[in-house]
Structure 1
């Protein structure tokens, strides 16, 4: 199963490399696009949940790394959710 890293820039300017065990992230996020924090979280949640489900369908267990990545994204998004203007930029896919 091909995995990928997607790099994001948070509203405070910091950047993170995020892991997905599947290329399904391409169905939910676009490199170069800016998303309001809540929208980014919803898209990342859908992508990583689907990616983990694909691992489970193939190997019989969910992807703990994808679910851990999702938890990290939730935690980071919670920090920025207070500002309605805060946006997350998807920098790249690797």
Structure 2
């Protein structure tokens, strides 16, 4: 399956390279766009769960790397829940 990485910048300026087992993330994010933290987490959850299911359909098991990535995103995002105007920027998709 074609994997995709998406480079993001958290509201505090920290950058992270995120993994998806599928190009589906390209349907949820655009390079150069920023999203509220809640919207980013929601989009990530949907995209990574779809990607994991695509792996299940092809190989018979879910993609644990996608689910691990989602857990990291959710954990990092929890630091910004109180900041209403905090945004996550998608720097690149590849």
Aligned pair count reads: 94
Q: Counterpart in 1 of 2:22?
A: 22
* SS of residue in 2 equivalent to 1:84: coil
CA deviation map 1:35-63 (0-9, x unaligned): 00000000000000000000000000000
Q: Counterpart in 2 of 1:56?
A: 56
CA deviation map 1:2-41 (0-9, x unaligned): 0011000000000000000100001111110010000000
* SS of residue in 2 equivalent to 1:91: strand
CA-based RMSD: 0.4
* SS of residue in 2 equivalent to 1:90: strand
Q: Which runs of 4+ in 1 moved over 4 A?
A: none
Q: Counterpart in 1 of 2:90?
A: 90
Which ranges of structure 2 fall in alignment gaps of 5 or more residues? Answer: none
Cα deviation for residue 81 of structure 1 reads 1.1
